[in-house]
Amino acid sequence: MFKRLPGDEARNLVTTTPDTAVVFQPAVVRTPALITLVIYLYRFLVALVRTFWQHPVATTVPAVLGLTWYQYGWPLAVSLLGTITLSLAAWAFIGRPSFARLVGWRLLAWWRLMSVYRRHWQSVMDVSGLGRRVHGRHYLPRIVRVQCDDWADRITVRMLRGQAVKDWSDRIDNLAHGFGVTSCRVALVKGGRLLLIFPRHDPLASPIPALPVPDEPTVGPVEIGKQEDGRPLRLKVHGTHVLIAGATGAGKGSFLWDTIRGLLPAMRAGLAEVWALDPKLMELSFGRELFQGRYAADPADCADLLDEAVSVMQKRATRFAGLQRSHVPTVDDPFVLVLVDEVAFLTAYQPDRQLRQRISAALATLVTQGRSVGVGVMAALQDPRKEVMNIRNLFPDKIALRLDESEQVDMALGDGARDRGALADHISPIPEQGAGVAYMRLETSPEPIRVRTAYVSDTDIRAMVTQFGEAA
Known binding-site positions = 246-253
Contact 274, 291 (CB under 8 A): yes
Burial of 89 (0-12, 13-18, 19+ CB in 10 A): exposed
SS3 281: coil
CA 454 to chain centre: 18
**Amino acid residing at 301:** D
Cα 395 to Cα 257, 284, 302, 413, distances in angstroms: 20, 21, 20, 10
Residues 6+ apart with CB under 8 A from 196: 154, 155, 157, 168, 175, 184, 185, 186
CA–chain centroid gap for 325, Å, is 31
Per DSSP, the three-state class of 288 is: helix
Strand partners, 336: 273, 375
Helix ranges restricted to H, 269-415: 299-320, 344-347, 353-369, 407-413
Q: Residue 104: what are its φ and ψ, rounded to 5°? A: -60, -50
Which amino acid is it at 427? I
What distance in Å separates the CA atoms of residue 104 and residue 90, rounded to the nearest whole number?
A: 13
8 A C-beta contact, residue 256 and residue 380: yes
Q: How far is CA 64 from CA 44, 56, 89, 139, 270, in A?
A: 20, 12, 19, 36, 66
Q: Are 402 and 437 in contact (CB under 8 A)?
A: yes
Q: Which residue numbers belong to the known binding site for ATP?
A: 246-253
How many CA atoms are closer than 13 Å to the CA of 392, on its beta-carbon side?
28
